[in-house]
Every structure is written in structure tokens, then in C-alpha cells.
Amino acid sequence: MATLSVVLFIIFMLFIGSSSAQLSTDFYDKTCPKALSTVKSAVESAVAKEKRMGASLLRLHFHDCFVQGCDGSILLDDTSSFTGEKTAGPNRNSVRGFNVVDNIKSKVEAVCPGVVSCADILAIAARDSVVTLGGPSWKVKLGRRDSKSASLSAANSGVIPPPTSTLNNLINRFQARGLSAKDMAVLSGIYLIILLLA
């Protein structure tokens, strides 16, 4: 059952993380060969300080992907041209770990400035969080582009399931992403297991 859960989780992340860009597991092998090890080290350090951070980084990635794809838009602060997603109803008092992602990004920038996207950092950190807490590993396809804008209205539009969702509402939201009720149950179970491991 654990293997099935991981497979469905990976399929989910590939589905919502896909875009017109060609993603590959070796995307940074030449341009930033230390990217993966740098992210891993920073995630391990953050989780060692607070085990719950592993689940928080996984949730942060999930909330980012659910709105407009895995583009890092959830990380963007408000600007004069848009209001970011951080204060959206489903995110407010729910997602955390922004400071950890900022720390990871600064460490990655120190080894290869301007190369690795924040969207990819979120995807790698989600995987490394699961592994650090004793869960299985998987290969992360990389090459995402960072969003240059975020949308509070999109994040509030009902695509991210709030904690007050009914079962029917949850099923409908996951179905809108091409996922079944079984997929939803498995993904929710993975998150719960990560919380328990933390």
C-alpha cells in the first residue's frame, strides 16, 4: 500500500507540475551540479530543528501546485501590480515554511547564482522532506520556470481545498485536477503519515 501511495503521489506531482517546458531529472546536472545536495542539506537541517517542517514543506508545494501549476507563485510577496497568494483563505494560517525556502534559495544561489528556480526548489524540498522523515524517495523532474505573478483571487477561487471542505467538495476539487476519490484518499493519507512521522 505504501508503494501505491508513493506512485500516486508522484503521478499527482507530475500531473500538476507539467507545463509546456520539458522537465527532466538531470536538468541541473551541468549548470548547477550541487543543486540537489544543497537543497537536501538545507531541508535536513530545517527538519532536524523542527520535524513538523517536513510536512509543512510538502504542504507548501501542494498548495503552490494546486492554483496555477507548480510555478512558485505561492512564494511571491504582494507588489503594486498583484496581491500574492500567501494571504488567501486556504493559505492563511495553513501554509508555512517560507523562511526555510528563502534559506534554501540563498544557499543554492551561493553555489550557482541565477540558475535554479524557486519552483524547482519547492519540488525538491517536498521530496527531500519525505525522505528525511523516513519516507520513500523518487526522482523529481526539474526545469520549471518561476511565475512572475501570483493571484490572490485564483488561490481564493476554491481550487485549494480548505480544511472546512465537505467530502463531496473535496472529491469535486480533486476531480477537477483529473484525480479520483481514491487518489485523493491516498494523497491525504501520505500527508497524514508525514505529519505522524514528524
Tell me the catalytic residues. Answer: 63
**In which region does residue 146 sit, left (phi positive, over 0), alpha (psi from -120 to 50) or beta (all else)?**
beta
C-alpha cell at 44: 535536513
Q: Is 94 labeled as ligand-binding?
A: no
Cα-Cα-Cα-Cα dihedral sign, residues 90, 3, 132, 33: negative
The answer to whether the annotation marks 26 as part of a ligand binding site is no
* 109 annotated to a ligand binding site: no
Q: Is 178 annotated as a binding residue?
A: no
Q: Please indicate if the annotation marks 146 as binding a ligand.
A: no
Q: Quick one: how many helices (H) and strands (E) in the chain?
A: 8, 0
Is residue 161 part of an annotated ligand binding site?
yes
Nearest to 86 by CA among 160, 188, 169, 164: 160
Ligand-binding annotation for 120, yes or no, is no
Sequence ranges of the binding site for substrate? 161
Query: Residue ranges for the binding site for Ca(2+)?
Result: 64, 67, 69, 71, 73, 85
